Amino acid sequence: MLGLAAAAAGAVLANMTPGVEVARDAGSYRVGNVTLLARGSGVYAGASGAVVIAEGADGIRASGSTRLHGVRMVGLCQMAPDQRSERCSFDLGGRSLTAVDQLDRGGWNRRYQDGQQLRIQLDASRPVPVPIALGR
């Protein structure tokens, strides 16, 4: 019986994608342990990549560029006007992905079009766009 319970717990844990924390302040944009420094005009950049955030009449848009597991990744997210969701599209080494993020309890619940889910914890009073294909 104990072996069966352990196997079931292992199966559940194997299907969960660990969460990542993202934060943005006046001086930086942080994803996990990677920090991109503010360069002005909504640009955050460093050796690991870049994120550009722009606010316009249609809301907040963000784009990102980095390498994930050695593969080139570019992403674009459009936040809804109420900032409670965002729709993202990614190119990961020539493969297209889309995701929808829903704001819940201080973070994004991201769901990719293939059903994979990820929790993105936000360290801010306002939602932060995340144009990076985290968990992929």
Domain ranges of the chain: 2-122
- CA-closest candidate to residue 44, choices 27, 58, 22, 68: 27
In the three-class reduction of DSSP (H, G, I as helix; E, B as strand; rest coil), residue 69 is classed as coil
Span 14-67, pLDDT tens digits: 444 668 999 999 999 999 999 999 999 999 999 999 999 999 988 999 999 999
pLDDT range class, residue 125, cuts 50, 70, 90: confident
Mean pLDDT score, 66-86: 97
Contact by Cβ (8 Å): 44, 37? yes
Mean pLDDT score, 105-125: 95
Is it the case that residue 8 has pLDDT exceeding 70? no
Does this model's pTM top 0.95?
Answer: no
Gyration radius (Cα) of the chain, Å? 16
Mean pLDDT score, 91-97: 98
Span 25-35, pLDDT tens digits: 999 999 999 99
Contact by Cβ (8 Å): 32, 20? yes
